């Protein structure tokens, strides 16, 4: 038995209304997954730098040009200390990573800043079709690791 003429176009009409919404949701979920993965990779990079430095002896944290600090940042970015491999996160440079040491003031009984971070953030663009261009999201992972060296 055939459907009445007025019901034949319902499926096409409903599909034309719902398909863009479903595509928008799928693309949005993939963008959230991309942001989450990038944050995890940045945090792992910063953690690698911090753990590399925490096990070294004689590190001068006050000098940004200390070869051990430079070596640790290179290790975190590429996985090697000689910079022979490409960086894990495209666009992440050694200038973006900041390392600071824990300082204990015995007079004031306070602990100063101790972290390895990306202070200015890593910008990740968000692109979702059919929506206006959004501002990039700044990811600022920070890691604190105890220093075991001397």
In the structure, what pLDDT confidence band is assigned to residue 39 with cuts at 50, 70 and 90? very high
CB contact at 8 A, 59 and 69: yes
pLDDT given at position 34: 93
> C-alpha 92: how far from its chain's center?
10
Q: pLDDT, tens digit, for every residue of 85-141?
A: 998 888 888 888 888 776 655 666 665 554 567 777 888 888 877 778 888 888 888
User: In whole angstroms, what is the distance from residue 148 CA to residue 150 CA?
Assistant: 7
d(CA 95, CA 142): 15
Question: Cα Rg for the chain, rounded, in angstroms?
Answer: 25
Alpha-carbon distance of 99 to 145, in angstroms, equals: 11
Given a cut of 70, is residue 41 above it in pLDDT? yes
Q: What is the pLDDT of residues 63-78, one digit of tens each?
A: 778 888 889 989 999 9
Q: What CA–CA distance (Å, rounded) separates 104 from 102?
A: 7
């Amino acid at each position: 038995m055939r459907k009445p003429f007025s019901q034949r176009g319902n499926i096409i009409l409903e599909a034309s209304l719902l398909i863009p919404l479903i595509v928008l949701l799928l693309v949005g979920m993939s963008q959230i997954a991309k942001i989450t993965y990038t944050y995890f990779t940045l945090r792992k990079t910063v953690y690698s730098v911090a753990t590399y430095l925490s096990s070294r002896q004689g590190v001068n944290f006050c000098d940004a040009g200390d070869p051990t600090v430079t070596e640790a940042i290179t290790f975190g970015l590429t996985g090697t200390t000689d910079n022979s491999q490409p960086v894990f996160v495209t666009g992440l440079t050694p200038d973006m990573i900041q390392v600071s040491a824990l300082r204990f003031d015995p007079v004031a009984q306070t602990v100063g800043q101790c972290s390895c971070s990306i202070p200015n953030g890593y910008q990740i663009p968000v692109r979702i079709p059919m929506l206006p261009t959004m501002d990039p999201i700044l990811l600022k992972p920070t890691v604190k690791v105890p220093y075991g060296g001397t």
